[in-house]
Amino acid sequence: MERDNLILDNLTRDSGFFLRYVREITRFRSRFQDVKVVESESFGRVLILDGKIQSTQVDEFIYHEALVHPAMFSHPEPRAVYIAGGGEGATLREVLKHGTVQEAVMVDLDEEVVDICREYLPTWHQGAFDDSRTRLLHEDARAVLQREDRTYDVIICDLSEPVDEGPSYMLFTQEFYRLCKRRLNPGGVLVTQSGCPSFVYSVSFHSVTATLESVFRNVCPYLAFIPSFASNWGFTLAGDSPLLPSMDQAQITARMESFSDRLQYLDAGFLPSLFSIPKHLRDTKKEVGRVIHDGEPLTVV
**pLDDT higher than threshold 70 for residue 124:** yes
Residues 6+ apart with CB under 8 A from 32: 109, 110, 166, 167
Give the pLDDT score at 299: 77
Domains in the chain, CATH or no CATH each: 2-56 (2.30.140.10), 60-288 (3.40.50.150)
Q: Which amino acid is at 301?
A: V
93-102 tens-digit pLDDT: 999 999 999 9
Give the pLDDT score at 288: 81
Predicted confidence band of residue 47 (pLDDT cuts 50, 70, 90): very high
Residues 9/17, Cβ–Cβ less than 8 Å: yes
Supply φ then ψ for residue 43, to 5 degrees: -120, 5
Please report how many Cα atoms fall inside a 13 Å half-sphere around the Cα of residue 46, on the Cβ side. 26
82-116 tens-digit pLDDT: 999 999 999 999 999 999 999 999 999 999 999 99
Q: Which of 158, 164, 240, 248 is catalytic?
A: 158
Residues 300/193, Cβ–Cβ less than 8 Å: no
Q: Which of 108, 105, 106, 97 is nearest to 80 (CA)?
A: 105
For the chain, give the DSSP string. -EETTEEEEEEETTEEEEEE-SEEEEEEE-SSSEEEEEEETTTEEEEEETTEEEEETTTHHHHHHHHHHHHHHHSSS--EEEEEE-TTSHHHHHHTTSTT--EEEEE-S-HHHHHHHHHH-HHHHTTGGGSTTEEEE-S-HHHHHHH----EEEEEEE----BTTSSSGGGSSHHHHHHHHHTEEEEEEEEEEEE---SS--HHHHHHHHHHHTT-SEEEEEEEEEGGGTEEEEEEEEESS--GGGS-HHHHHHHHHT-SS--SS--TTTGGGGG---HHHHHHHHHH----BTTB---B-
User: By mean pLDDT, which of 99-108, 142-151, 192-201, 256-265 is the weakest?
Assistant: 192-201
Residues 68/94, Cβ–Cβ less than 8 Å: yes
152-181 tens-digit pLDDT: 999 999 998 776 666 788 999 999 999 999
Give the pLDDT score at 201: 67
Residues 6+ apart with CB under 8 A from 226: 59, 62, 63, 232, 233
Rounded Cα distance, 105 and 293, in Å = 26
How would you write 59-104 as a 3-class SS string? CHHHHHHHHHHHHHHHCCCCCEEEEEECCCCHHHHHHCCCCCCCEE
Q: Which amino acid is at 179?
A: L
User: By mean pLDDT, which of 101-115, 157-171, 203-217, 244-258 is the weakest?
Assistant: 157-171
Please report how many Cα atoms fall inside a 13 Å half-sphere around the Cα of residue 237, on the Cβ side. 27
For residue 158, indicate whether it is catalytic: yes
Residues 224/232, Cβ–Cβ less than 8 Å: yes
Rounded Cα distance, 138 and 118, in Å = 14
Residues 235/70, Cβ–Cβ less than 8 Å: yes
Mean pLDDT of 254-273: 92
